[in-house]
Amino acid sequence: MSLAREIAFTLNGVQRRATVDAGASTLALLRDVIGLTGTKYGCGEGECGACTIVVDGRSVNACLMFALDCDGRQVTTIEGLADDARAQVLRDAFVAHGAVQCGFCTPGLMMQATQLLAQQRQPDEPTVKRALEGNLCRCTGYRKIVEAVVDAGRALSGPAR
């Protein structure tokens, strides 16, 4: 007896259908079934943030969410930010500040930072630190990442008045 079920959901703005096993994670759905590898497998325990995605407007760890729970939902991955103007400003800030080194954590950080900037137009440094505290990076020491997000917030808010 198979515990697989077909689900239907919106992925990066496109209606999708997939057959998933009852115990499969959303991370496995994205990477193994659909083939989107931008969402990374880090710890598998919700501790590192490498698998951060957005579901119905909220950041979640894809490794902790059952794939079945995507049914009827709006899911956005790092690939879904490719044409997002706000995300482009954030990408440019990451590059300008040298916030990308090995790049493994970058998709999760980008997803979390994009969510923060969607909720708060110009976050200050403590707010950025708090928002990103669930995303681990082994390379940068976070200073450059925080500066990049603060700078992107300034750029997105327009000129100072």
CATH code of residue 39? 3.10.20.30
Beta bridge partners of 114: none
Q: What is the pLDDT of residue 27?
A: 98
d(CA 154, CA 151): 5
**CA-closest candidate to residue 23, choices 2, 8, 40:** 2
**CA-closest candidate to residue 122, choices 81, 83, 93:** 93
Q: What is the pLDDT of residue 140?
A: 77
Choose the final residue of a domain: 78, 107, 122. Answer: 78
Q: What is the domain extent for residue 132?
A: 84-157
Structural domains counted in the chain: 2
Q: What is the pLDDT of residue 62?
A: 98
Phi/psi at 71 (5° precision): -55, 120
List the pLDDT tens digit at each of the 161 positions of the chain: 568 999 999 999 999 999 999 999 999 999 999 999 999 999 999 999 999 999 999 999 999 999 999 999 999 999 999 999 989 999 999 999 999 989 899 999 999 999 999 999 899 999 999 999 999 998 877 999 999 999 999 999 876 53
Q: What is the pLDDT of residue 118?
A: 93
Q: Looking at the structure, tell me whether residues 58 and 90 fall in a common domain.
A: no
**Is-above-0.85 flag for pTM?**
yes
Q: Looking at the structure, tell me whether residues 62 and 94 fall in a common domain.
A: no
Q: What is the pLDDT of residue 106?
A: 95
Q: Looking at the structure, tell me whether residues 67 and 108 fall in a common domain.
A: no
Beta bridge partners of 15: 10
Q: Is 2 helix (H, G, I), strand (E, B) or coil?
A: coil
For residue 112, give both structure tokens: 């979390």
| Residue 104 and residue 140 in contact, taking contact as beta carbons nearer than 8 Å | no
Choose the final residue of a domain: 78, 93, 121. Answer: 78
Kindly tell me the number of DSSP H helices and DSSP E strands found in the chain: 5, 5
**CA-closest candidate to residue 135, choices 154, 157, 116:** 116
